[in-house]
């Protein structure tokens, strides 16, 4: 069979580009760093949106929408924030045919403009907590773009909250990290993310604490899949978000922000993909089962089966393109990573059966027509679990415990290095950075989150990152 994709072992970045093109996921836009998300790539994103949105709403936040354009002066109100984002800004200087008096920035993130609204909306402790989320596009001018992973424009959700106490803000930032992001990534994306705390060096510009979910990609690098920040009172001071306490005093609010983006689509591809293409976890898959008409005379039976599975809540697509060679279509469904194929051909039908093909493992099982629904249900559950186990095994096999900076750099050539933060420290971190290795996060030995950046006995996960 002709080679469809560059093998991962030969050239992983090339494999990634091949998958994006062949599975029709995304391509470059005309302006440097921008991307077109094609329908199948977007269908993956829509499923992610739906699952994340449900969890965000369950955590009590409500969606709203804030302007794309931010006055340049707003960005400057929080010193670290403007310093962090200035080099990446896109600036509109002409509007309606005229030079603007004050240039406007295309949002790189919305802390400033949302907090300007919070300053109006938050008056009393009764208004707190204020829990807002927005689905939007943001722009960060990107010098080394990579489709879906790092693009000048990307799609994301960004949550912004205000609380009466530091503890309440902290608890909420952790709740989002665990109940929204980790739950979604583990249970739906089947991705064994490592959840930890960023070092001061890697913190979000303007935050007092950044927590992160780090994914190991198929080539042993790290990808930051989502972050949840405590902002302390930094933005509350900059935008004067204060509230009347029950005892009649005025206090600044405590805040959080948190985000996840279309980068998750890239992470999904990079962690689960293999040499035949994507492997999409059943719970996420826009199409869980492709029902393939092998020859035209099987169309009616295939359509009946498709209706039967659909009516049971399974996401099915009927491929009745009998005029396209069967082999080409089979390769296409493999490329797209659809968990199950049901091949419906006249020879099988004569014996009242079809052939069930699993993307995971590739096993082909002749299945009686009456047993398809049950077989599909079982396979979808099994393969969700198996994909997670696969990714976890691959991850754990590539995490190496080391003691020195040199050993960490060596380990990061093919995987992640893990070492005690007390032995590395900010000085070791700087030396790693010179060699393009970063501390992805700090985690306690028992997997829980450190309360501060200099807790003893925490482990640092170090890797090259996308």
Give the list of residues 6+ apart from residue 135 with CB closer than 8 angstroms, or none: 49, 53, 63, 155, 156, 157
Q: In angstroms, give the least distance from the CB of 58 to a copy of itself.
A: 14
- Closest to a copy of itself by CB, 67 or 346: 67
Q: In what order do the strands lie in the sheet with 222-232?
A: 62-63, 130-139, 153-163, 254-261, 222-232, 209-216, 194-197, 438-444, 458-463, 416-420, 399-401
Q: In angstroms, give the least distance from the CB of 70 to a copy of itself.
A: 7
Q: Which of 184, 214, 187 has its CA nearest to residue 198?
A: 214
30 belongs to the binding site for a copy of itself (CB under 8 A): yes
In angstroms, what is the C-alpha Rg of the chain?
A: 24
Q: Which residue in the set 7, 13, 60, 67 belongs to the binding site for a copy of itself (CB under 8 A)?
A: 67
| DSSP-based three-state secondary structure for 43 | helix
246 belongs to the binding site for a copy of itself (CB under 8 A): no
Count the site residues for a copy of itself by CB under 8 A.
Answer: 54
Q: Which residue in the set 80, 93, 123, 422 belongs to the binding site for a copy of itself (CB under 8 A)?
A: 93
For 331, the token pair is 């390769």
Q: In angstroms, give the least distance from the CB of 137 to a copy of itself.
A: 6
HSE value, Cβ hemisphere, 13 Å, CA-based, for 260: 27
Residue 347 phi, psi dihedral angles, 5° rounding = -65, -45
Segment interacting with a copy of itself (CB under 8 A) among 11-19, 87-95, 389-397, 431-439: 87-95
Give the list of residues 6+ apart from residue 186 with CB closer than 8 angstroms, or none: 192, 193, 388
75 belongs to the binding site for a copy of itself (CB under 8 A): no
Q: Which residue in the set 1, 2, 94, 370 belongs to the binding site for a copy of itself (CB under 8 A)?
A: 94
On the question of a cis peptide bond just before residue 129, with omega within 30 degrees of 0, the verdict is yes
68 belongs to the binding site for a copy of itself (CB under 8 A): yes
For the window 360-389, what string marks contact with a copy of itself as x by the rule CB under 8 A? ------------------------------
- Closest to a copy of itself by CB, 27 or 407: 27
Using alpha carbons only, give the angle 296, 299, 304 rounded to the nearest 5 degrees. Answer: 170
Segment interacting with a copy of itself (CB under 8 A) among 85-93, 290-298, 305-313, 407-415: 85-93
For 462, the token pair is 């170090």
For the window 34-63, what string marks contact with a copy of itself as x by the rule CB under 8 A? xxxxxx-xxx-xx---------------xx
Q: In angstroms, give the least distance from the CB of 71 to a copy of itself.
A: 5
- Closest to a copy of itself by CB, 106 or 335: 106
Count CB atoms within 10 A of the CB of residue 297. 12
Count CB atoms within 10 A of the CB of residue 343. 22
- Closest to a copy of itself by CB, 131 or 402: 131
123 belongs to the binding site for a copy of itself (CB under 8 A): no
Determine the angle formed by the axes of helices 263-272 and 39-58, rounding to 10 degrees.
110
Q: Which residue in the set 103, 420, 425, 453 belongs to the binding site for a copy of itself (CB under 8 A)?
A: 103
Q: What gap in Å lies between CA 300 and CA 77, rounded to an integer?
A: 65
| DSSP-based three-state secondary structure for 355 | strand
Q: Which residue in the set 14, 60, 65, 365 belongs to the binding site for a copy of itself (CB under 8 A)?
A: 65
- Closest to a copy of itself by CB, 22 or 377: 22
Q: In angstroms, give the least distance from the CB of 284 to a copy of itself.
A: 16
| DSSP-based three-state secondary structure for 182 | helix
106 belongs to the binding site for a copy of itself (CB under 8 A): yes
200 belongs to the binding site for a copy of itself (CB under 8 A): no
Segment interacting with a copy of itself (CB under 8 A) among 140-148, 234-242, 306-314, 387-395: 140-148
Q: What gap in Å lies between CA 298 and CA 38, rounded to an integer?
A: 31
293 belongs to the binding site for a copy of itself (CB under 8 A): no
How far is CA 123 from each of CA 120, 159, 167, 241, 375, rounded to the nearest angstrom?
7, 20, 20, 8, 57
296 belongs to the binding site for a copy of itself (CB under 8 A): no
Which spans of this chain sit near a copy of itself (rule: CB under 8 A)?
A: 27, 29-31, 34-39, 41-43, 45-46, 62-71, 74, 86-97, 103-104, 106, 113, 116-117, 132, 136-137, 139, 141-143, 152-153, 155
């Amino acid at each position: 069979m002709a080679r469809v994709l560059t093998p991962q072992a030969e050239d992983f970045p090339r494999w990634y580009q091949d998958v994006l093109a062949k599975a029709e996921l995304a391509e470059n836009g005309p302006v440097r760093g921008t991307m077109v998300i094609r329908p199948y790539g977007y269908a993956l994103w829509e499923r992610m949106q739906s699952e994340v949105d449900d969890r965000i709403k369950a955590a009590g936040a409500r969606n709203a929408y804030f302007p794309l354009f931010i006055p340049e002066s707003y960005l400057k109100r929080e010193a670290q924030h403007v310093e962090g984002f200035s080099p990446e800004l896109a600036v509109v200087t002409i509007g309606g045919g005229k030079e603007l008096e004050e240039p406007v920035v295309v949002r790189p993130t919305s802390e400033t403009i949302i907090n300007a609204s919070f300053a109006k909306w938050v008056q009393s402790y009764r208004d707190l907590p204020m829990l807002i989320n927005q689905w939007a596009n943001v722009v960060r001018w990107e010098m080394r773009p990579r489709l879906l992973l790092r693009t000048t424009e990307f799609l994301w959700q960004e949550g912004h909250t205000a609380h009466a106490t530091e503890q309440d803000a902290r608890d909420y930032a952790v709740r989002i990290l665990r109940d929204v992001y980790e739950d979604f990534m583990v249970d739906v994306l089947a991705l064994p993310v490592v959840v930890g705390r960023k070092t001061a060096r890697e913190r979000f510009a303007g935050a007092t604490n950044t927590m992160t979910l780090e994914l190991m990609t198929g080539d042993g690098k790290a990808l930051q899949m989502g972050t949840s920040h405590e902002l302390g009172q930094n933005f509350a001071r900059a935008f004067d978000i204060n509230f009347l306490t029950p005892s009649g005093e005025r206090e600044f609010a405590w805040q959080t922000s948190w985000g996840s983006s279309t980068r998750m689509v890239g992470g999904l591809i990079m962690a689960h993909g293999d040499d035949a293409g994507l492997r999409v976890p059943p719970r996420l898959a826009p199409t869980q089962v492709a029902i393939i008409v092998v020859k035209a005379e099987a169309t009616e039976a295939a359509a009946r089966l498709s209706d039967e599975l659909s009516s049971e809540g399974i996401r099915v697509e009927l491929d009745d393109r009998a005029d396209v060679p069967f082999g080409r279509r089979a390769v296409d469904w493999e490329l797209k990573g659809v968990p199950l194929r049901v091949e419906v051909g006249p020879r099988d039908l004569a014996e009242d059966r079809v052939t069930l093909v699993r993307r995971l493992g590739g096993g082909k099982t002749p299945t009686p027509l009456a047993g398809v629904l049950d077989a599909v249900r079982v396979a979808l559950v099994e393969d969700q679990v198996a994909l997670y186990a696969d990714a976890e095994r691959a991850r754990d096999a590539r995490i190496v415990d080391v003691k020195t900076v040199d050993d960490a750099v060596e380990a990061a050539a093919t995987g992640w290095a893990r070492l005690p933060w007390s032995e590395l420290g900010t000085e070791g971190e700087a030396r790693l950075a010179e060699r393009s290795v970063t501390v992805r996060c700090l985690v306690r030995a028992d997997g829980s989150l450190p309360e501060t950046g200099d807790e003893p006995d925490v482990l640092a996960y170090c890797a090259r990152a996308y």
